[in-house]
Amino acid sequence: MKRKWVKRSLLALLPLIFALGIFGTVRADENPPKQRTIQVTGEGKVTAVPDQAELDFEVQEEGSNLEEVTAKVNEKMGAIFEAVKSFGISDKDFKTIQYDIQPKYKYDNGESQRVGFTVSNRIQVVLKKIDQAGKLMDAVTEAGATQVQGPSFGFSDPAQLQIEALKKAVEDAHAKAEALAEASGAELGKVFSITQTGSALPVRPMAFRDNGAMGSAEVPIAKGENDVTAEVEVVYFLR
């Protein structure tokens, strides 16, 4: 009789023992042994020749009559549009980026009196044929531009250059990690994480020219080369 009672008691406890066993296994899995890792920084650079240039052209006029001043600005800007189109530049590659009307005031004995207006219109042009930048600048100046900014050199497809720079940065990180792992007597494992920490696509700043200081000779332009850079942070497992 006693043996039967013990047997029945054990059978009744089996579900509880099984549950405790599972619980213990789960808790053990919650804190697995920490794996060794190594963290490195990789840098990549791609050097390329710019394939486009941006230029800003502005017309500014002053006068006492707003309608007359606006008409002068519009006439000159129309001539600039024609000059730009003569270089084969499509409509999608130039746009108005600022149109401004500012009243001019004269102050006398603490009182202000409006004496005229300043009207300005600025357009931005994307030039695919960089070698024509100097000729374009001279052409719009002759057409009536009062201010010229540019050229600012850049790329028509910067995303592709950045991707190439990122690939080189990852390759650089891998080479560094392998060297460090070998020096420490370990083997390099799989990648745990990759983080892009930096990217630079430099654009050569625009030069400024005032109409009154411009000569008639064509402006010489040198496009040179630009560097596209990227930086990544990579964490590897060590074996």
pLDDT, position 171: 98
The tokens describing 123, both together, are 């357009």
Question: Whole-prediction pTM value?
Answer: 0.68
Q: What's the mean pLDDT in 73-77?
A: 97
Mean per-residue pLDDT, 20-25? 41
Average pLDDT, integer, range 128-154: 93
* Mean local confidence (pLDDT), 115-127: 97
Q: Distance (Å, rounded) from C-alpha 221 to C-alpha 204?
A: 12
- Judge contact between 225 and 49, C-beta under 8 A: yes
Between 36 and 15, the higher pLDDT residue: 36
- Average pLDDT along the chain: 85
**pLDDT of res. 10:** 45
Tell me the C-alpha distance between 134 and 39, whole Å.
49
pLDDT value at 19 more than 80: no
Under the banding of pLDDT at 50, 70 and 90, the label for residue 117 is very high
Do residues 159 and 46 make contact, with C-beta atoms less than 8 angstroms apart? Answer: no
Please state the rounded mean pLDDT for residues 161-175. 97
pLDDT in tens, 179-206: 999 999 999 999 999 999 998 876 555 5
| Model pLDDT, residue 213 | 46
Question: pLDDT digit string (tens) for 79-99?
Answer: 999 999 999 999 999 999 999
Sheet containing 147-154: order of strands: 94-108, 111-127, 52-63, 147-154, 208-210
What CATH topology corresponds to 37-47+160-200+232-238?
Translation Initiation Factor IF3 (3.30.110)
Pick the CATH number of 50-156+206-222 from 3.30.70.2970, 3.30.1490.20, 3.30.200.190, 2.120.10.30: 3.30.70.2970
Choose among 41, 47, 13: nearest CA to 194: 41
